[in-house]
Amino acid sequence: MTDETATFRPEARAPRGFADKRAPVLRAERAILEAVSAVYERYGFEPLDTGAFEYADALGKFLPDSDRPNEGVFALQDDDEQWMALRYDLTAPLARFAAENWNGLPKPFRRYAFGPVWRNEKPGPGRFRQFIQCDADTVGSARPEADAEIVAMAAEGLEAAGLPRGQAVLKINNRKLLNGLLQSAGVETVGQKLAVLRAVDKLDRLGPDGVRLLLGEGRKDESGDFTKGAGLGAKAIESVIAFTQAGLGGAERSVVLNRLADVIGGSAEGDEGLEELARIDAALTGMGVGVDRAAFDPAVVRGLEYYTGAVFEAELLLETLDDKGQPMRFGSIGGGGRYDDLVARFTGERTPATGFSFGVSRLVAALAAAGRAPAADVRGPVVVIAFSQDRMADYFAIAGELRAAGIAAEVYLGSSGMKAQMKYADRRNAPAAIIVGDDELAAGSVTIKDLDLGRAGAAGVEDNAAWRAERPGQQTIPRGEMIAAVKRIVGAN
Q: How high is the pLDDT of residue 147?
A: 97
Select from 23, 126, 25 the least CA-distant residue to 373.
Answer: 25
SS3 95: helix
Hey, what's the torsion of the CAs at 58, 61, 65, 71, to 10 degrees?
-110
Q: Is the peptide bond before 381 cis (omega within 30 degrees of 0)?
A: no
Q: Is the peptide bond before 64 cis (omega within 30 degrees of 0)?
A: no
How far apart CA 304 and CA 175 sit, in angstroms, is 9
Q: Are 351 and 141 within 8 A, CB to CB?
A: no
- 493 residues of the chain, pLDDT tens digit each: 555 557 889 999 999 989 999 888 899 899 999 999 999 999 999 999 999 999 988 886 544 445 556 678 898 999 998 999 999 999 999 999 999 999 999 999 999 999 999 998 888 776 789 999 999 999 999 999 999 999 999 999 999 998 888 889 999 999 898 888 888 777 878 788 888 888 888 887 888 888 899 888 889 888 888 888 888 888 888 888 888 887 776 789 999 999 888 888 678 888 999 999 999 999 999 999 999 999 999 888 876 567 889 999 999 887 776 667 777 677 788 999 999 988 888 999 899 999 999 999 888 888 887 777 666 567 899 999 999 999 999 999 999 999 999 999 999 999 999 999 999 999 999 999 999 999 999 999 999 999 988 776 554 445 444 444 555 689 999 999 999 999 999 886 5
| pLDDT value for 160 | 94
| CATH code of the domain occupying 23-52+87-369 | 3.30.930.10
Closest residue by Cα to residue 198 from 173, 178, 176, 222: 178
pLDDT of residue 272: 93
Q: Where are the domains of the chain?
A: 23-52+87-369, 382-491
User: Pick from 245, 367, 242, 368: which is nearest to 296 by CA?
Assistant: 245
In angstroms, rounded to a whole number, what is the distance separating the alpha carbons of residues 330 and 218? 27
* Closest by CA position to 53, among listed 91, 93, 98, 26: 93
Please answer whether residues 332 and 303 qualify as being in contact, where contact means their C-beta atoms are separated by less than 8 angstroms.
no
CB–CB of 455/426 below 8 Å? yes
Among 304, 286, 314, which Cα is nearest to 171's?
A: 314
Task: State the pLDDT at residue 477.
Answer: 95
- Output the pLDDT for position 492: 61
Distance in Å from the first CA to the final CA of the chain: 58
DSSP 42-70: HTTPEE----SEEEGGGSSTT---SSS--
Rounded to whole angstroms, the Cα distance separating 332 from 286 reads 26
Euclidean distance between CA atoms 18 and 118, whole angstroms? 10
Reference 48, options 99, 115, 108, 116; nearest CA is: 115
The pLDDT of residue 63: 47
Q: What angle do CA 147, 153, 154 make, to 5 degrees?
A: 90
* DSSP per residue, 311-325: EEEEEE-S-EE-TTS
Q: CA-based angle 286:289:293, to the nearest 5?
A: 165
Q: How buried is 34 (Cβ within 10 angstroms: 0-12 exposed, 13-18 middle, 19+ buried)?
A: exposed
Tell me which CATH code domain 382-491 carries.
Answer: 3.40.50.800
